[in-house]
């Protein structure tokens, strides 16, 4: 997505000057034709009727030519856009399983999983770990190491290339998509909201939910207060992508969605990594309400998120490097200990006179 945005920006820069030149030529030609027509009329070379016909005709012609610069710009973008269309059509379709019920504890197991968004570039490499039902687990590691990909694979947004992921003892590919999705709620780092009311955005998680259910989860998600201050309250249109809300407010709406869905497995993808301290406190309180009695897999860079979990998985270069409890990993003096030290050093950094 980031590459596509950069490509579009380059296209806009490349073709904007061409559009300006084209617009200048069209406008200049229009002015010249008007001057020429008036000149011919003033020298009695054409009569008044012909003069008016030429003026009106030239106006209509150049009025139609003006939008062609935009059309030319769009036409020039088509060859580049074709690549992205081809990428979409080349994505393999996931084969849906037939299992509609899940029996037994909702334990999660990654068994020698390999995966890459491109065939020749693996992102996840021979990854194996287990998470017991109701266990709180943190996944830590440097940016680009594959943390978010793990969440994507467990949610079955993508299928593994090799190995398998098991839920309640069965390969997740054996379940129907609906059955699998009912077991999980995801709070993404980048929250996407629809250009609709707050009420409908939250109800998206459970279409049959009553208004009172939505009011209740909004209180737990710490978003009822700011919603009540909006012009139309829960009926406020929040814009495409939640454009009219702050990052912290969007996060809390996302948590309210997850609370309403009430799935037994919660996936938190760096949910507090890009908000201010005030919003972070509200979000962490909302997450505490969300995670009670659930299996929680949290991806985070903040020490406060990982210190009190049951189990920590340390990922680097797509592989599991360390696992254990916070105190154990600190004593081992490995990658995790270095991660914690760097975060504490950054937190204590200050400018001295």
pLDDT of residue 347: 61
| Phi and psi torsions of 118, nearest 5° | -120, 145
Does 100 fall in a domain?
no
pLDDT of residue 188: 79
pLDDT of residue 11: 60
Provide the domain count of the chain: 2
pLDDT of residue 44: 83
Task: Domain of residue 46: give its range.
Answer: 2-90
C-alpha to C-alpha distance for 286 and 127, rounded to whole angstroms: 31
* Residues 78 and 113 both lie in one domain: no
* Residues 75 and 187 both lie in one domain: no
Does 329 fall in a domain?
yes
Does 333 fall in a domain?
yes
pLDDT of residue 77: 64
* Residues 55 and 192 both lie in one domain: no
| Phi and psi torsions of 14, nearest 5° | -65, -40
pLDDT of residue 353: 44
* Residues 15 and 155 both lie in one domain: no
131-184, pLDDT tens digit by residue?
999 999 999 988 888 998 999 999 999 999 999 999 999 999 999 999 999 999
Does 103 fall in a domain?
no
Helical ranges in the chain per DSSP H: 2-42, 48-65, 68-90, 147-154, 177-182, 198-203, 211-220, 224-228, 247-261, 277-291, 303-306, 326-332, 335-347
* Residues 66 and 164 both lie in one domain: no
* Residues 340 and 215 both lie in one domain: yes
* Residues 194 and 330 both lie in one domain: yes
Burial status of residue 97 (CB atoms within 10 A of its CB: 0-12, 13-18, 19 or more): middle
Does 263 fall in a domain?
yes
* Residues 216 and 155 both lie in one domain: yes
pTM equals 0.71
Write out residues in the chain with pLDDT < 50, as ranges: 1, 350-353
Does 353 fall in a domain?
no
Does 322 fall in a domain?
yes
* Residues 315 and 227 both lie in one domain: yes
Between 277-291 and 247-261, two packed helices, what is the crossing angle to 10 degrees?
0
Contact 343, 301 (CB under 8 A): yes
């Amino acid at each position: 997505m980031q590459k596509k945005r950069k490509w579009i920006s380059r296209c806009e820069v490349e073709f904007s000057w061409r559009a300006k030149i084209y617009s200048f030529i069209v406008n200049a030609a229009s002015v010249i034709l008007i001057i020429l027509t008036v000149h011919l009329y003033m020298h009695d070379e054409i009569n008044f009727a012909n003069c008016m016909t030429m003026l009106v005709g030239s106006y209509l012609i150049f009025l139609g030519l003006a939008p062609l610069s935009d059309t030319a710009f769009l036409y020039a973008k088509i060859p580049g856009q074709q690549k992205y269309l081809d990428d979409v059509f080349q994505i393999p379709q996931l084969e849906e399983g037939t299992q509609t019920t899940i029996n037994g504890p909702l334990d999660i197991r990654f068994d020698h999983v390999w995966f890459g968004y491109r065939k020749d570039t693996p992102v996840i490499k021979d990854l194996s770990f287990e998470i017991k039902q109701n266990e709180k687990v943190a996944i830590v590691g440097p940016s680009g190491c594959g943390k978010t990909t793990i969440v994507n694979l467990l949610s079955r947004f993508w299928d593994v290339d090799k190995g398998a992921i098991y839920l309640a003892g069965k390969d997740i590919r054996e379940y129907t998509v609906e059955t699998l999705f009912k077991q999980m709620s995801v709070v993404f780092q980048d929250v996407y909201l629809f250009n609709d009311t707050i009420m409908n955005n939250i109800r998206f998680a459970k279409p049959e939910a009553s208004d009172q259910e939505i009011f209740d989860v909004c209180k737990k998600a710490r978003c009822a207060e700011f919603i009540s201050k909006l012009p139309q309250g829960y009926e406020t249109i929040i814009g495409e992508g939640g454009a009219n809300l702050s990052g912290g407010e969007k996060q809390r709406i996302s948590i309210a969605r997850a609370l309403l869905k009430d799935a037994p497995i919660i996936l938190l993808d760096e949910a507090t990594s890009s908000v201010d301290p005030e919003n972070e406190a509200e979000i962490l309180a909302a997450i505490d309400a969300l995670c009670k009695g659930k299996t929680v897999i949290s991806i985070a860079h903040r020490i406060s998120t990982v210190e009190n979990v049951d189990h920590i998985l340390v990922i680097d270069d797509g592989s599991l490097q360390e696992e254990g409890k916070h105190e154990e990993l600190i004593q081992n003096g490995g990658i995790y200990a270095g991660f914690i030290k760097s975060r504490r050093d950054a937190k204590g950094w200050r400018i001295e006179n």
